[in-house]
C-alpha cells in the first residue's frame, strides 16, 4: 500500500557499463535532477557516477503528484514583483522550453493535457486573476475559465495553463536514467553517502531536493524538508477530469489517469508543523483529509489502492539553489524546488551541469546558492 503508484510497475533495470575506478563527477541523488545532470555531464565528455541511498526515482521523483507545470513555485504575478519582471519572464520561458524537452524524451510517460489552477474562494479568485493578467501581459498562453459547474466542490474560476501536462514521473526518470547509462553514467544504488569526503571525484553535485540532511550544515539551514502525502484510487467507472487540477494555492492537487484512477495529494496545511519533516511516513490526519476530499470530489468513497508520503525541499524565496556551493571547493548543488520539481528538476540538473562545464547562464544568478547559504 505504501509503494507509490508510479513505482508500482515493472520497469527494465537500468544497466550501466559497470564500476569505474575514478570519476570526474560524483552526483548524490538519482531523481530527476541527478539523472538529468549526469546525462548532460556525460554528454559533455565527463565520467560520472550517481549515488543514491535508494533506487533510481525512489525519492520525491517517484512519489509526487505527477504534475508537469511551467514556471516556479510562486504565482507569476508575485514572481514578477519578487524576482523582477525580466527574471520571472526568463524563468517561465525556460520552463516552457524544458517542458518541450521533457515531452521529447518522456514518450508514454507524459501527456500534454494542460492544467487547471482553481480558485477555492473569492480571495483566491482575485489572486489567480492577477496571475492570469500578468501571464497574458507577458505573452504566455493561458485561458480564463468561469464555468466550472461540472466540478464538485464549487470553485470560483480557474486559469487553464495550456503548456502543462501529466507525467508518470517514475517511468520518466527511469527512462532518462537508461539514456544516461547508455552514455556511460554509472549508478550506485542503495548506497547512502555519509560525507562528501568519501567521494573519490574531482567534483560533486548535490541533487537531493529536500532529503539531503547531514551532507552540509549550511544546506540543512537553507533547505526545509516538507512532507507531501498522496493517495491513488482504483479505476473509476466515469471520466471526470481531463487534466491535472489544483486549488487552494496548490495545497490540493488531483488528476485522473488514462485508466480512470484518481491520484490526489495535498492537505499539508491541515497539519503544517508536523508536515515540516523529512520522515517519509503517512499520517492519519492528512490521510483522513484526503479521503474526505475524495468524497467531496466524487460523492462517494472509492477504493484506495495506494497511500504514500514523499519529501521535498522548501526555500524561503521559493526558488531552488543551483550552482557552486560557496566555501566548498568542487561542490555544486541543484535542489529545493519548493514542491515544483518535475520540470524544474530536469532543467536545473542540466543547468548545474552546464555551469560545471564552464558555461554561463542568466538563471544562475537568480538561483545562486550564495543568496541562502551562510557558512558556519
Site membership for ligand FAD, residue 166 (CB under 6 A): no
Considering only residues 307-336, where is the footprint of ligand FAD by CB under 6 A? 310-312, 335
Site membership for ligand FAD, residue 4 (CB under 6 A): no
- What residues contact residue 213 under an 8 Å CB cut-off, 6+ apart? 220, 225, 278
Site membership for ligand FAD, residue 369 (CB under 6 A): no
Q: Which residue's beta carbon is nearest to the bound ligand FAD?
A: 341
Q: Which stretch binds ligand FAD (CB under 6 A): 63-71, 91-99, 176-184, 288-296?
A: 63-71
Site membership for ligand FAD, residue 351 (CB under 6 A): no
Q: C-alpha grid cell for residue 331?
A: 561542490
Considering only residues 82-101, where is the footprint of ligand FAD by CB under 6 A? none
| x/- letters, 191..220, toward ligand FAD (CB under 6 A) | -xx-------------xxx-xx--x-----
Q: Are strands 201-206 and 67-68 parallel, antiparallel or unpaired?
A: unpaired
Q: How far is the CB of 149 from ligand FAD (least distance, A)?
A: 26
- Dihedral angle over CA of 356, 317, 81, 265, nearest 10: 100
Cβ closest to ligand FAD, residue 85 vs residue 281: 281
Q: How far is the CB of 101 from ligand FAD (least distance, A)?
A: 15
Q: Which run of H or of E encompasses 20?
A: none
Q: How far is the CB of 207 from ligand FAD (least distance, A)?
A: 5
Site membership for ligand FAD, residue 73 (CB under 6 A): no
**Edge-to-edge strands, sheet with 201-206:** 186-188, 48-51, 23-28, 201-206, 331-335, 321-324
Q: Among 17, 16, 25, 24, which residue's Cα sits nearest to residue 56?
A: 16
Q: Among 65, 62, 49, 28, which residue's Cα sits nearest to residue 339?
A: 65
Cβ closest to ligand FAD, residue 89 vs residue 342: 342
| x/- letters, 258..297, toward ligand FAD (CB under 6 A) | -------x--------------------------------
Considering only residues 37-56, where is the footprint of ligand FAD by CB under 6 A? 51-54
Cβ closest to ligand FAD, residue 215 vs residue 319: 215
Q: C-alpha grid cell for residue 2?
A: 505504501
Q: Among 213, 227, 211, which residue's Cα sits nearest to residue 310?
A: 227
- How far apart are alpha carbons 336 and 348 in whole angstroms? 10
**Edge-to-edge strands, sheet with 262-266:** 142-145, 158-161, 115-118, 245-247, 252-256, 262-266, 224-233, 304-314
Angle at which helices 341-356 and 85-106 cross, to 10°: 100
Q: Which stretch binds ligand FAD (CB under 6 A): 16-24, 131-139, 305-313, 355-363?
A: 305-313
Cβ closest to ligand FAD, residue 202 vs residue 278: 278
Site membership for ligand FAD, residue 247 (CB under 6 A): no
Identified binder of ligand FAD from the candidate list 7, 50, 60, 346, rule CB under 6 A: 60
Cα–Cα distances (Å) from 326 to 185, 268, 329, in that order, read 26, 33, 8
- How far apart are alpha carbons 345 and 60 in whole angstroms? 11
For binding to ligand FAD (CB under 6 A), which residues are involved?
A: 28-34, 51-54, 58-61, 63-67, 69, 192-193, 207-209, 211-212, 215, 228, 230, 265, 310-312, 335, 337, 339-343, 345
Amino acid at each position: 500500500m505504501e509503494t507509490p503508484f508510479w513505482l508500482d510497475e515493472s520497469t527494465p533495470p537500468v544497466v550501466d557499463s559497470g564500476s569505474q575506478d575514478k570519476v570526474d563527477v560524483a552526483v548524490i541523488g538519482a531523481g530527476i535532477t541527478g539523472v538529468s545532470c549526469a546525462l548532460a555531464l556525460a554528454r559533455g565528455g565527463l565520467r560520472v557516477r550517481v549515488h543514491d541511498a535508494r533506487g533510481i526515482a525512489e525519492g520525491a521523483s517517484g512519489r509526487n503528484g505527477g504534475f508537469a507545470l511551467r514556471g516556479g513555485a510562486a504565482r507569476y504575478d508575485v514572481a514578477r514583483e519578487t524576482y523582477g519582471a525580466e527574471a520571472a519572464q526568463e524563468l517561465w520561458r525556460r520552463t516552457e522550453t524544458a517542458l518541450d524537452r521533457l515531452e521529447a524524451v518522456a514518450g508514454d510517460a507524459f501527456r500534454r493535457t494542460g492544467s487547471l489552477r482553481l480558485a477555492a474562494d473569492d480571495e483566491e479568485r482575485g489572486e489567480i486573476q492577477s496571475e492570469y493578467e500578468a501571464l497574458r501581459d507577458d505573452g504566455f498562453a493561458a485561458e480564463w475559465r468561469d464555468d466550472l459547474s461540472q466540478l464538485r466542490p464549487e470553485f470560483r474560476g480557474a486559469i487553464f495553463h495550456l503548456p502543462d501536462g501529466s507525467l508518470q514521473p517514475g517511468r520518466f526518470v527511469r527512462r532518462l536514467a537508461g539514456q544516461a547509462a547508455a552514455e556511460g553514467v554509472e549508478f550506485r544504488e542503495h548506497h547512502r553517502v555519509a560525507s562528501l569526503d568519501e567521494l573519490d571525484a574531482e567534483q560533486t553535485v548535490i541533487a537531493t531536493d529536500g532529503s539531503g540532511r547531514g551532507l552540509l550544515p549550511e544546506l540543512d539551514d537553507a533547505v526545509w524538508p516538507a512532507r507531501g502525502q498522496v493517495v491513488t484510487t482504483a479505476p473509476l467507472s466515469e471520466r471526470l477530469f481531463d487534466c491535472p487540477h489544483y486549488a487552494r494555492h496548490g495545497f490540493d492537487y488531483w488528476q485522473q489517469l488514462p485508466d480512470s484512477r484518481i491520484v490526489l495529494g495535498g492537505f499539508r496545511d491541515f497539519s503544517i508543523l508536523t508536515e515540516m519533516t523529512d520522515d517519509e511516513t503517512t499520517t492519519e490526519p492528512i490521510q483522513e483529509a484526503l479521503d474526505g476530499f475524495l468524497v467531496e470530489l466524487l460523492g462517494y468513497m472509492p477504493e484506495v489502492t495506494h497511500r504514500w508520503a514523499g519529501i521535498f525541499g522548501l526555500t524561503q524565496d521559493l526558488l531552488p539553489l543551483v550552482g557552486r556551493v560557496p566555501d566548498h571547493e568542487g561542490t555544486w548543488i541543484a535542489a529545493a524546488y519548493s514542491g515544483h520539481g518535475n520540470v524544474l528538476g530536469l532543467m536545473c540538473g542540466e543547468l548545474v551541469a552546464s555551469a560545471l562545464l564552464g558555461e554561463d547562464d542568466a538563471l544562475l544568478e537568480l538561483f545562486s546558492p550564495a543568496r541562502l547559504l551562510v557558512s558556519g
